Amino acid sequence: MEVNRVNLESFDRTVEEAKKDPETALKSLKVEGRWRLGEKGPQFESELKYENGRMILYADEPTILGGGGTSVNPIQYCLFGVASCFAATFAKWAAKEGVELEELTIKIEADLDMSISFGISDNPILKKMTLDLSVKTEASDEEVARIHQITIERCPAYYCLSKPIEPEITVSKE
């Protein structure tokens, strides 16, 4: 059964497997890319593989940051990831709770202080981030608020933004 473009049978099966064997809930994601030295166009490229295919994504810094402005910048991809993950989590849990959506849109805005990137301050880079989720549904305000709370509790991207995570970074020289 599909609700809100969410295959509930598949999702329910995945949740049940994780309840029986928590190891099945552990996933690993990998992104590799390269800085495009000596080439025209975007500065960075990455081939991303997904379940049913692959695609090449490009990123370029805006001209004010030394790029060519020829592609989406890295922060836009970051915001896209947050917005799409939050929307997916909301739609999925609305479906699980029996709430059908007629429309779901999201807008994300971030106010950045780039001065730390310039090496001239230690100000936090993210000053403010807002997500504006708009839903059209016959569900009550209380049901929408409950799904919103579930989304905040279960969205992986929101978790990454709201909880400190120290990545391990290595640099190797060839």
Q: Are 86 and 78 in contact (CB under 8 A)?
A: no
Q: Which of 45, 72, 99 is the last residue of a domain?
A: 72
pTM, whole model, 2 decimals?
0.92
Residue 77 lies in a domain: yes
- Convert the pLDDT of each residue in 37-81 to its tens digit: 999 999 999 999 999 999 999 999 999 999 999 999 999 999 999
Alpha helices, DSSP H only, in 114-140?
A: none
**pLDDT bucket at 105, cuts 50 / 70 / 90:** very high
Are 95 and 56 part of one and the same domain?
Answer: no
Are 127 and 64 part of one and the same domain?
Answer: no
Are 153 and 107 part of one and the same domain?
Answer: yes
- Convert the pLDDT of each residue in 81-94 to its tens digit: 999 999 999 999 99
| Full residue range of the structural domain in which residue 37 is found | 31-72
Domain count for the chain, please give it.
2
Are 35 and 79 part of one and the same domain?
Answer: no
Report CA 168 to chain centroid distance, whole Å. 20
**pLDDT, position 87:** 98
